Amino acid sequence: MGLFSFLTQEIAMDLGTANTIIIHNDKIVVDEPSIVAIDTKTGKLIAIGHAAQQMHGKTHENIKTIRPLKDGVIADFNAAEQMIRGMIKLVNKKKSAVQSGVKNDCKYTVGEYGCRNPCCTRLGRACQWT
């Protein structure tokens, strides 16, 4: 574990043709349909998941709903990238609603950092020796 590892999150993402699932800390935190709504004039993302699915077939001519995966393969890379970015933002929104602060275990060996570990002291956490 590095000094700045508390700034990163590990997630698992299953990009499916019908649904995209994101798992964080062994829990499913996002389970949304694999569909995006994009403004055709600007190319900006308007909605993802359930919101985009509700717009499917009922949108203005400048808004296009796209399923970026076809038969298990990415068919539209731009739409897939925007969908992945939007789904990751959903993880952060759901996580911040559950957690109010930063969680970090701060596990280091004695030889690496000693007990004056800046990560632990800034977070007000006790160092745990491994």
- The domain that holds 56 is classified in CATH as 3.30.420.40
Same domain, 92 and 107: no
What does the angle CA 78 – CA 80 – CA 81 come to, to the nearest 5 degrees? 65
Verify that 62 and 122 share a domain, yes or no.
Answer: no
CB 51 within 8 A of CB 89: no
Instruction: Say what the pLDDT of residue 26 is.
Output: 87
Same domain, 93 and 121: no
Please indicate, yes or no, whether residues 93 and 112 belong to a single structural domain of this protein: no
pTM over cut 0.75: no
**Confidence at residue 60, expressed as pLDDT on a 0 to 100 scale:** 83
- 19 and 52 in a single domain? The answer is yes
56-67 confidence digits (pLDDT tens): 988 788 999 999
- pLDDT score for 6: 61
Q: Which residue range is the domain that position 62 belongs to?
A: 5-99
Instruction: Looking at the structure, tell me whether residues 106 and 91 fall in a common domain.
Output: no
- 83/113 same-domain check: no
Backbone angles phi, psi at 96, to 5 degrees: -70, -25
For 81-114, the pLDDT digits (tens) are 999 999 988 887 765 544 433 333 444 444 444 4
Nearest to 8 by CA among 118, 124, 109, 88: 88
